[in-house]
């Protein structure tokens, strides 16, 4: 049972009386009816790659883990409707492959895509690297099949793009982190496959210049700009140190780099020259320091490997205090300046590993301990660091969890910043749908916050 009881980062280990592996919606329904009758808590689990501790049970050992990994069938593909119906345990990479085989694109993409499941992606409303153009998991879902805590099956798999017949139940379950029911299947939105990609790594003097580059690119190419990933120079150094097989993409070091990707449709092919000209003109004026354009699929893959290797490389440096925050794009430069200065003053020697999906205002504002400091010593500073960073995020009108959800990691912190009205509405929903509190207890909302 061990792999199902500890999360991906090894931060939380729980206990359970069993791990169960249903193979059909009927089996999930039977399990939840049984759990409801016997008051057994249930922790739904997909690929167990979540970063907020939501996918593992608590330490009581009284509940079960309900793993969806054996519900991994593609139920139907409808190319004319640009939709794909899959079971919740389908691995994200498999879904991308099925869409690709059909000449389509399923654009949800994140570094854990080889292990995370679509059920987990929807339960956490995952983001990833394509949000700028295609939106978050919520925007990519046309409908759900859900088993409620009492074992009823709600079939919302009609695959409609418009349905204004009352409260949107789909939206209620998306992002609910297993606390309202079990997602057993979903209809996903597909898109026409781009003809190619323009991918480049750009060296930049500061975040303000990155924001202005993004704005110029969007002005010139509109929705063709599909990814704009910001990486601090310090962060890139750490990846290169731990992944020596990857080469530095630019000749010199830069305070910041951006990994920029444009998806090329037929109309956009003509824009490649314009794009190259724009970047070169910005190099001339000093707004951009250097540019490396990927000229083959292998080079594109290597640029993305630098971005996707960040989490693991940072983990190799010891304990990391992670912040998954979201801000208005226009506030990011100011926030990073203020937070960096405040942290440097209060936590001498700390290192910052800042990267993120700048295009949609999502930063991973990660804080690493001083070089050589014991990870456990650094861990004791976690509460102080979180308070400083989160207070500043909220002062800037941002959110303390952009895409990783609350789980147990951010549950109490979110309650601290949410208004009384928000907390009351969330508690009312929990009470109405899971009155016995058996679905993933203690995650997202503390027991005493809703009972």
CB of 324 to ligand FAD, least distance (A): 8
CB of 89 to ligand FAD, least distance (A): 7
* Closer by beta carbon to ligand FAD, 268 or else 329: 329
What DSSP line would sit under 32-71, residue for residue?
HHHHHHHT--EEEESSS--SSS-SS--TT--SEEEE-TT-
d(CA 407, CA 282): 43
Residue 401 three-state SS: strand
The overall longest dimension of the chain from CA atoms, in Å, is 70
Contact 5, 13 (CB under 8 A): yes
Residue 5 three-state SS: helix
Contact 443, 54 (CB under 8 A): yes
Taking CB positions, which residue lies at the least distance from ligand FAD? 120
* Closer by beta carbon to ligand FAD, 181 or else 194: 181
CB of 412 to ligand FAD, least distance (A): 16
Q: Which residues would be at the binding site for ligand FAD (CB under 6 A)?
A: 8, 43-51, 54-55, 68, 88, 110-112, 116-117, 119-121, 123-124, 126-128, 177-178, 182-183, 311, 403-404, 407, 440, 443
CB of 296 to ligand FAD, least distance (A): 25
* Closer by beta carbon to ligand FAD, 89 or else 194: 89
* Closer by beta carbon to ligand FAD, 203 or else 441: 441
d(CA 432, CA 85): 28
CB of 384 to ligand FAD, least distance (A): 25
Apex 10 CA angle, 377 and 51, nearest 5: 100
* Closer by beta carbon to ligand FAD, 46 or else 107: 46
Burial of 63 (0-12, 13-18, 19+ CB in 10 A): buried
Tokens for 356?
Answer: 């993120």
CB of 177 to ligand FAD, least distance (A): 4
d(CA 230, CA 413): 26
Contact 150, 432 (CB under 8 A): no
* Closer by beta carbon to ligand FAD, 43 or else 347: 43
């Amino acid at each position: 049972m061990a792999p199902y009881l500890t999360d991906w980062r090894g931060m939380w280990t729980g206990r359970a009386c069993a791990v169960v592996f249903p193979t059909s919606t009927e089996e999930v329904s039977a399990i939840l009816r049984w759990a409801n009758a016997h008051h057994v808590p249930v922790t739904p689990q997909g690929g167990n790659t979540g970063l907020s501790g939501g996918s593992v049970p608590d330490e009581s050992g009284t509940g079960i883990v309900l793993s969806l990994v054996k519900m991994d069938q593609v139920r139907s593909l409808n190319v004319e409707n640009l939709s794909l119906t899959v079971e919740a345990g389908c691995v994200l990479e498999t879904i991308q492959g099925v869409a690709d085989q059909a000449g389509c694109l399923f654009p949800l993409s994140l570094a854990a895509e080889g292990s995370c499941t679509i059920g987990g992606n929807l339960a956490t409303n995952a983001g990833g690297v394509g949000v700028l153009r295609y939106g978050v998991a919520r925007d990519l879902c046309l409908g759900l099949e859900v088993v409620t805590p009492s074992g009823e099956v709600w079939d919302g798999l009609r695959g409609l793009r418009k349905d204004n017949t009352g409260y949107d139940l789909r939206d209620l379950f998306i992002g609910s982190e297993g606390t309202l029911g079990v997602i057993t299947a979903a209809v996903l939105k597909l898109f026409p496959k781009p003809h190619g990609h323009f991918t480049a790594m750009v060296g930049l003097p500061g975040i303000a210049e990155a924001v202005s580059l993004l704005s110029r690119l969007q002005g010139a190419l509109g929705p063709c700009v599909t990814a704009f990933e910001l990486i601090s120079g310090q962060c890139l150094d750490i990846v290169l140190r731990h992944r020596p097989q990857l080469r530095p993409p630019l000749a010199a070091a830069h305070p910041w780099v951006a990994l920029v990707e444009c998806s090329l449709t037929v109309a956009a092919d003509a824009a490649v020259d314009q794009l190259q000209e724009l970047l070169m003109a910005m190099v001339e004026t000093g707004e951009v320091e250097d540019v490396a354009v990927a000229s083959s699929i292998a080079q594109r893959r290597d640029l993305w490997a630098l971005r996707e290797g960040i989490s693991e490389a940072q983990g190799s440096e010891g304990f990391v205090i992670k912040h998954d925050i979201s801000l208005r794009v226009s506030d990011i430069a100011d926030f990073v300046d203020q937070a960096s200065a405040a942290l440097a003053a209060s936590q001498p020697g700390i290192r910052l590993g800042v990267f993120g999906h700048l295009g949609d205002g999502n930063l991973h504002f990660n804080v690493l301990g001083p070089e050589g400091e014991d990870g456990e010593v650094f861990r004791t500073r976690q509460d102080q660091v979180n308070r400083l960073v989160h207070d500043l995020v909220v002062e800037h009108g941002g959110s303390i969890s952009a895409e990783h959800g609350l789980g147990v990691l951010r549950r109490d912190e979110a309650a601290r910043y949410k208004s009384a009205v928000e907390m009351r509405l969330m508690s009312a929903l929990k009470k109405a749908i899971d009155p016995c509190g058996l679905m993933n207890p203690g995650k997202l909302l503390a027991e005493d916050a809703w009972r």
